[in-house]
């Protein structure tokens, strides 16, 4: 997982961050019809593939801090993936924060 940072009082938390992204995504793109949900799912898969392509020939101990070009590619590609996931979840009316907490809870019980 990513690095966690201490909450200094200014941190809005994951739910607040997701809400800000959701609002931004909702304003940036026109609404899609329900029939487009499969297309949004394919968009998520395509963006996941692009991220895998950026990293596919790197060894498992890559350090993005030492390779600024790679870090930028990963950052842009991961950002696109996040936007796609948010658009998909918005169209499906999924609360990603709640879904993530539920998944972590489920994994903890296994």
Task: Specify if 60 maps to a domain.
Answer: yes
> What would the pLDDT profile of 52-88 be if each residue is shown by its tens digit?
999 888 877 777 778 888 889 999 999 999 999 988 9
For residue 100, is it within any domain? yes
Query: What's the pLDDT tens digit per position in 91-110?
Result: 888 998 899 999 999 999 88
User: Does residue 84 fall inside a structural domain?
Assistant: yes
Q: What is the full DSSP assignment across 16-80? A: HHHHHHHHHHHHHS----GGGHHHHHHHHHHHHHHHHHHHTTS-TT--GGG-HHHHHHHHHHHHH
What is this structure's pTM?
Answer: 0.69
Q: Answer for the pair 32, 91: CB distance below 8 angstroms, yes or no.
A: yes
Residue 72 lies in a domain: yes
Helix, coil or strand: residue 98: helix
Range of the domain at 64: 34-109
Number of domains in the chain: 1
CATH number of the domain where residue 100 is located: 1.10.287.1080
């Amino acid at each position: 997982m990513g690095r966690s940072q201490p909450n200094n009082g200014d941190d809005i938390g994951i739910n607040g961050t997701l809400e800000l992204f959701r609002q931004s995504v909702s304003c940036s793109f026109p609404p899609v019809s329900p029939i487009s949900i499969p297309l949004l799912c394919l968009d998520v898969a395509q963006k996941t593939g692009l991220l895998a392509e950026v990293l596919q020939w790197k060894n498992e101990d890559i350090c993005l801090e030492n390779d600024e070009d790679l870090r930028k590619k990963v950052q842009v590609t991961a950002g696109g993936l996040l936007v796609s996931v948010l658009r998909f979840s918005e169209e499906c009316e999924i609360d990603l924060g709640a879904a993530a907490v539920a998944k972590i809870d489920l994994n903890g019980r296994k």
